[in-house]
Amino acid sequence: MSILPQPLRTALNRVAAHLLPGSCLLCAADSGSGLLCPACASDLPRLPAALCPQCGDGTTLGERCGACLKDPPAFARTVALFRYEFPVDRLIQALKYGHQLPLAAWFGARLSQMLAAADYDLVLPLPLHPSRLRTRGFNQSLEIARPVARALGLPIDPILLTRTRATPPQADLPFKERARNVRGAFECAGDLAGRRILLVDDVMTTGSTLREAARILKLHSAGQITVAIAARALRR
């Protein structure tokens, strides 16, 4: 993994992207046909074995965490690829703000390998509010969800779950205010009739946004809900 300062690495990567299409997004070394070189890909921060099976946060022995015991989310399980820290956070930012859309397919392909098609009936991406979608030009969660659905042979519905209220970015708020920020921000357009849902997003930090989305899905008769994310921020 590169030890160059971030500004210099960013500048070099921009040059490499134009001159060397087969260069690693993190260190600009030769990556062949991939987005990352083997060294950087193998060095991405993995999650520990002991995780809460429901929300994916760190626990001592893999038991349910105190937060899920005290206030259980509407989703039953969380599946995550990486720990949300450097340099995975840079990859997520490159996808969302640098329009590096091939990263969505890269995350989605690897996420699908952790999932079994027989466990789900429908894939739903976490939606963006229309105003943010217009600004960004795409929904990163949908771009990750598409290759997941394709690999598993599952239907995907990008419009069933909608975000009807624009909210300040969660990252700008203290943790304690995030649940209130997204309360009532989602709507579901139809009855899910017990279908098992795979709810896909890019990152989970406190889990407030995914909790609220899952709550709305349950109000519309969803069966078991599993959250699938590219990265999980751990609180311990």
- Mind listing the pLDDT tens digit for each residue in 95-123? 999 999 999 999 999 999 999 999 999 99
Task: Identify the residue whose tokens are 């987005």.
Answer: 35
- Mind listing the pLDDT tens digit for each residue in 162-202? 999 887 666 666 667 776 778 888 999 999 999 999 999 99
- In the 8-state DSSP scheme, what is residue 165? S
pLDDT, average across residues 29-43: 94
User: In this structure, what token pair is assigned to residue 45?
Assistant: 């921060």
Q: Which helix (H) or strand (E) holds 135?
A: helix 130-136
Q: Are 24 and 31 in contact (CB under 8 A)?
A: yes
* Domain range annotation of the chain: 1-43, 45-232
Closest by alpha carbon to 161, among 141, 176, 175? 141
Q: Longest Cα pair distance anywhere in the chain, in angstroms? A: 53
Range in 7-11, 135-139, 153-157, 187-191 the model is least confident about:
7-11
Q: Are 23 and 29 in contact (CB under 8 A)?
A: yes
Does the pLDDT at position 87 exceed 50?
yes
What is the reported pTM? Answer: 0.88
Any residues with CB less than 8 A from the CB of 20 and at least 6 apart, and which? Answer: 28, 30
Q: Which CATH class, in words, describes the domain spanning 45-232?
A: alpha beta
